[in-house]
Amino acid sequence: MLVKWIRCTVVDRHGFEREQRKWAGLLGEPGFRTQSGGWSRRQPDVAHVFAFWENRVFYDSFMARAHDRLAAPQAGTYKDMQVKLFEYRFDVKTGFEPDFTDADVVRIAHSRVYEDRVDHFALMQQRVWNPAMAGSPGMLRGVFGEAPGPEFLVLSMWQSSAERGKYRPGSAARLEARAETERDVEALTGDVVQLEPSWTVRPERA
């Protein structure tokens, strides 16, 4: 599975949201799984969009054929767009599906990892971080993806912003020490995204 993460600064909120809803045109694209997104709770003019595809072949085919037609009307409503692609590595909580319908908050953690620490970083995600996140109230599901760099994305979905608030820095600091995060990670950025249900595009399931 391929995970696409888009981050941009919006300069025309009304226009951006209007055109974002038109990405329903993704329905019927071969290999398309789900797209959703929302607004940063830390920077109100920053939007995040997440898209899931079966694999890179389907995604590349879409980009070559239909992407520009869908994207063109949204041009001028944003600036500073950053796009990153990650290959699925493993679930953060078992049984991951790219389903945003029961979540209202998404947490993003984006790490650039030292090359000689990649294996350790992934192992600590499985042994230390995953169990802690899976046991946190309100945490629904998540995915761990990898890109060249080496870079990693942890995208986790939460049932409510109130529950997300219970996952706090005190326990996180202890987990960081146990996982030796400082030795693994060269740079770390993150955000908390308030999902906009009208941005969700998901094929009907049989």
Residue 135's pLDDT is: 87
pLDDT digits (tens, 9 = 90+) for 187-200: 999 999 999 999 99
* Residue whose C-alpha is closest to residue 143's, from 133, 153, 158: 153
DSSP conformation class of 203: P
Three-state DSSP class for residue 154: strand
State whether residue 28 is helix, strand or coil.
coil
Cβ-based neighbour number of residue 180 at 10 Å:
14
CB atoms within 10 A of CB 171: 12
Q: What is the pLDDT of residue 206?
A: 42
| Spatial separation of the C-alpha atoms in residues 51 and 176, rounded to whole Å | 29
Model confidence pTM above 0.75: yes
pLDDT tens for the chain, residues 1 to 206: 999 999 999 999 999 999 999 999 999 999 999 999 999 999 999 999 999 999 999 999 999 999 999 999 999 999 999 999 999 999 998 889 999 999 999 999 999 999 999 999 999 999 999 999 888 888 999 999 999 999 999 999 999 766 555 555 567 888 889 999 999 999 999 999 999 999 999 998 64
What residue ranges define each of the domains in the chain, with the CATH number in brackets?
2-197 (3.30.70.100)
C-beta neighbour count of 5 within 10 angstroms = 20
